[in-house]
Structure 1
Amino acid sequence: MWWIGCHGGAGVSTLASLVGFGLDFGSRGWPMVTPPMPQAHVVLVCRTSASGTWAATGAVEQWRRSGMSSVIRLHGVVAVDASPRRAPRIASERLHLLKGWVPTLWRVGWVDALLAADDPRDVGVPPDIEALRAAIWQKVHTLRESTR
């Protein structure tokens, strides 16, 4: 599974580290699918800011319109809070729109302790991320079992 940032600073490396599975693809675009790997499993990551949700909307729209859905299995979008405050209205509206376009939209709250950690695993796994881990693990493994 690939964690892909919709923009720089989305929180991909922190999420991948804390969740403990999947590969951090950064924000380089979509993975290339090759015959040994006929389908890529992807979770997009964005911040709950105006620019972060705009980037996520663009990435999902690109996936929807490009025909990539046959080779890239988009499991959903993780929206990581950009601050401890409530998300701006425009970001909330875009997330509401995205919820209708993707299989799942997950929200991860702000964790102030992560700002001072050299390694996010030193902080421990916050409850939001533990729930995210369980949900994605279930999705990916249920899908694998059904395709056997």
Structure 2
Amino acid sequence: MDNRWAELVSPSLEEQTRPIFEDVVEETVTVLRGASGPQRGVTGLTEHEGRLGRFLTDAHDVFWLGVHGGAGESVLTDLLGGVSCHHRWPLRPDDGTQHARATVFLVARQNKRGLDAARLAARDWAAGAHPDVDLQGLVLVADAPGRTPKPLATATRVISGGVPSTWVVPWIEELRLTGAVDWASMAREPRKVLTALGEAADEALSERTPQ
């Protein structure tokens, strides 16, 4: 399969970063690893607790599920392609035919509100409430430039343990100033993360061919 992301980032050997703890480094991008599937003993959410809705779809594509308003799913869709879920889980039709599970990435801002919403969505998935979903992980989008405050970094570590993978997209200044962003003008650090994310999305999608 052609890799449309490979040409965007080609780091030198000096730029490689050593992995720490359970993390791995892919093209100098740290990806936090966590639970690979739903867990026994986890209870699902009620509507009162903020359970997200569902929508029927048979699309064979990558789904970006923003777990709260302003999460950044539309930006990821514009840059990487796929489908914006508009805060709803994809649900496969029960029409007697086989459908591949939906390839889903949760999306949230890396702030208190976003991390709380991500934790709830991850819990709902871990409870087995979405058997039609093949959750790839969580994408956290920085909500400010500079170093991540310690409480948010700690919360990120905790939440990342409940999903298969977590990517943190650094602050993108032009998105704040213009409301749009493109590859040519994007700073190197967010471009590296988004490149790795695009590769992961393509790989996951290629493995989920409908029957």
Q: Distance in 1 between matches of 2:129 and 2:192?
A: 35
2-structure distance, mates of 1:48, 1:120 = 19
Q: Which structure 2 segments of 5+ residues have no match? A: 1-61
Tell me if 1:10 matches 2:75.
no
Q: How does 1:95-106 map to 2 (within 5 A)?
A: 95-106=156-167
Q: Which runs of 5+ in 1 are unaligned?
A: none
Separation (CA, whole Å) in 1 of partners of 2:124 and 2:208: 25
Q: Which aligned pairs between 1:41-52 and structure 2 lie closer than 5 A?
A: 41-52=103-114
Alignment size in residue pairs:
143
**Residues 138, 117 of structure 1: alpha-carbon distance in 2 compared, 3 angstrom cutoff:** same
Q: Write the mapping of 1:1-148 to structure 2, written as runs, cut at 5 A.
A: 1-19=62-80, 21-27=81-87, 29-35=88-94, 37-68=99-130, 70-121=131-182, 124=185, 126-141=191-206, 143-144=207-208
What TM-score do you get using the length of structure 2 for normalisation? 0.61
Contact 1:42 1:75 in 2 (8 A): yes
Aligned pair in 2 of structure 1 residues 122, 78: CA closer, same or farther (>3 Å)? closer
Structure 1 CA distance, aligned partners of 2:197 and 2:127? 27
Larger Rg: 2
Higher helix share: 1
Write out the 4+ residue segments of structure 1 that deviate beyond 6 Å after TM superposition.
none
SS at 1:144 equivalent: coil
8 Å contact kept, 2:136–2:165: yes
Instruction: Give the distance between the partners of 2:93 and 2:79, measured in 1 at CA.
Output: 28
Q: TM-score, normalized by length of structure 1?
A: 0.84
RMSD: 2.2
**Is the Cα–Cα contact under 8 Å of residues 17 and 121 in structure 1 kept in the other structure?**
no
